[in-house]
Amino acid sequence: MSQSDGSQNTYLWIGKLVMISLAPPFTKALSVMHKIEAAGFEAYFVGGSVRDTLLHQPINDVDIATSALPEEIKTIFPKTVDVGIEHGTVMVLWKGEHYEITTFRTESTYQDFRRPDEVTFVRSLKEDLKRRDFTVNALAMDQKGNIIDYFDGQTDLANKVIRAVGSPHERFHEDALRMMRAVRFISQLGFKMEKETIAAIEKNHALLEKIAVERIQVEFLKMLMGIGRKNGLLIFIETGLFKYCPGLRNHEKALEAFAKNQLNLSTSLSAWTFLLFYLEVKSEEVEPFLRAWKCSRKEIQQVETAYRALKVRMNRSLDRLELYQTGLEIALEVEKMAESFGIPVYPLQVKETYESLPIKSKKALAITGNDLISSLKIEPSREIGLLLEKAEKAVLEGKVGNETIQILNWLKEER
Ligand SMILES: Nc1ccn([C@@H]2O[C@H](COP(=O)(O)OP(=O)(O)OP(=O)(O)O)[C@@H](O)[C@H]2O)c(=O)n1
Ligand SMILES: [Mg+2]
């Protein structure tokens, strides 16, 4: 009997038959699956959605793997987009939803540890699952909810173990990012890592250098924000992966301290801010540090603001001007961060104080540079900016009301 002919017997042959009820993201995708099967091909749910369903965790998107070639998928569905056709992925637009459908494939040779030189499409599900990263990610589910498990992924799920499929060394050589994914899953799922998988990371950690920082960042943040952060970070340190991440190489001790403290890291903003705090990054080094991690300008600004505020908040509450400069959203986030250090926090008071501020942004100030030029007869110069700042501060401190005439008179007296 073939292992890939999609018949019920295939599953019985493996000896694993588990029935579960399908969640809405799956049931919605069923008609896509039916259509592929009606055309004579196999189709399965694969990857994270199957893993998370078995863990009773919510799922977002479903990935579908099929024995049909990309060109065949395109003849089955009227609307498709070639999102990654060279890797076998076609996006199908169907009944108002979109689905990524990937042809079963093996990846034969890898020269650069990042992506296959050559993708070989195969007709066998088992061949496809064999080249996936971890046993818990190498599960497939058919449209009836039967689980297909060739690599004992369900046992590892039950024992909470991350284990590479087959040879970890080979899996990490195929894609070195998988080493980061391993520590990310440890943290995200609260799992342990199997010994040989750890040993292979220790041996191959330097391959991470070949991977784009953007991709590493995604896994790194998920690791920092997971429920098993301590364990994930400790393995990230012990295996030496940290040395190949921007700005972390000489900070083993600080990272350990960061791992061991119970912190409330629910957002990427708090993750970055705590990291900077533990590494004791100097204010002027924050920007280059985050730039090396490929954070966006906006993110960098927000983290700089939060970091500045947290350093103040460790000693005292923010004053009105600092609260204004920080903004309510970040100030409340900083309260949560401070709470992680056992500092008494007052989020309601922060909210009330913020709401009582006469202005919330520069735009709300009742004078502009042009007012200064026309009323105070000042030439356009640096002085304008300085006067506006002075006025802004005075309004916030209640020294003057936020009214054009009042501010102008006050500035005239002050000059
Ligand atoms: N470097 C990688 C990335 C992905 N995969 C396989 O592709 C699936 C889907 O990948 P992805 O969506 O990146 O990860 P998920 O496991 O689905 O995790 P998440 O819930 O974060 O999406 C994985 O489960 C795994 O089978 C892999 O083998 N190697
Ligand atoms: Mg996924």
254 lies in which domain range?
A: 160-260
> Is the domain of 348 the same as that of 378?
no
Q: Which pLDDT score is estimated for 264?
A: 83
What CATH code is carried by the domain that includes residue 382?
Answer: 1.10.246.80
> Is the domain of 297 the same as that of 342?
yes
> Is the domain of 178 the same as that of 193?
yes
The answer to the question of whether 401 is labelled as a binding residue is: no
36: amino acid identity, one letter: I
> Is the domain of 24 the same as that of 169?
no
> Minimum-distance ligand to the CA of 53?
1
What CATH code is carried by the domain that includes residue 39?
Answer: 3.30.460.10
Q: Which pLDDT score is estimated for 119?
A: 83
> Is the domain of 118 the same as that of 140?
yes
What CATH code is carried by the domain that includes residue 283?
Answer: 1.20.58.560
Q: Which pLDDT score is estimated for 24?
A: 84
Last residue of a domain, one of 260, 286, 304: 260
Task: Name the residue of 57, 61, 100, 133 whose CB sits within 8 Å of the most ligand 1 atoms, as the mutation to test its pocket.
Answer: 133
> Is the domain of 76 the same as that of 31?
yes
Q: How far away, in angstroms, is 225 Cα from ligand 2 center?
A: 17
> Is the domain of 201 the same as that of 322?
no
Name the nearest CA neighbour of 92 among 103, 76, 113. Answer: 76
> Is the domain of 19 the same as that of 139?
yes
pLDDT tens for each residue of 90-111: 999 999 999 999 999 987 655 5
Tokens of 396: 């916030």
Q: How far away, in angstroms, is 253 Cα from ligand 2 center?
A: 33
Q: Spell out which residues line ligand 1, taking CB within 6 angstroms.
A: 47-48, 63, 132-133, 137-138, 175, 177-178, 181
Q: How far away, in angstroms, is 184 Cα from ligand 1 center?
A: 12
> Is the domain of 100 the same as that of 42?
yes
What is the rounded average pLDDT of the residues 2-19? Answer: 39
Give nearest CA residue, ligand 1 atom 20: 48
- Residue written as tokens 């497939």? 140
Q: How far away, in angstroms, is 293 Cα from ligand 1 center?
A: 22
Task: Name the residue of 132, 162, 173, 215 whose CB sits within 8 Å of the most ligand 1 atoms, as the mutation to test its pocket.
Answer: 132
The answer to the question of whether 240 is labelled as a binding residue is: no
Candidate from 16-25, 153-162, 209-218, 246-255 with smallest mean pLDDT: 16-25
Name the nearest CA neighbour of 43 among 155, 142, 173, 116. Answer: 142
Last residue of a domain, one of 244, 260, 276: 260
What CATH code is carried by the domain that includes residue 248?
Answer: 1.10.110.30
Question: What is the widest separation between alpha-carbon atoms in the chain?
Answer: 95
Give the C-alpha separation, 357 to 321, whole Å.
9
For the entire predicted model, the pTM comes to 0.90
Look at strands 97-103 and 105-107 and give their pairing.
Answer: unpaired
> Is the domain of 148 the same as that of 98?
yes
- Residue 260 pLDDT grade (very low, low, confident, very high; cuts 50, 70, 90): very high
- Quick check: 113 pLDDT over 80? no
Work out how many domains the chain is built from and give that number.
Answer: 4
The answer to the question of whether 112 is labelled as a binding residue is: no
Has the ipTM of the complex gone over 0.95? yes
Q: How far away, in angstroms, is 319 Cα from ligand 1 center?
A: 46
Give nearest CA residue, ligand 1 atom 24: 47
> Is the domain of 254 the same as that of 266?
no
Pair 224, 263: CB distance under 8 Å: no
pLDDT tens for each residue of 295-342: 999 999 999 999 999 999 999 999 999 999 999 999 999 999 999 999
> Is the domain of 332 the same as that of 315?
yes
193 φ, ψ to 5°? -115, 135
The answer to the question of whether 51 is labelled as a binding residue is: yes
Last residue of a domain, one of 315, 332, 357: 357
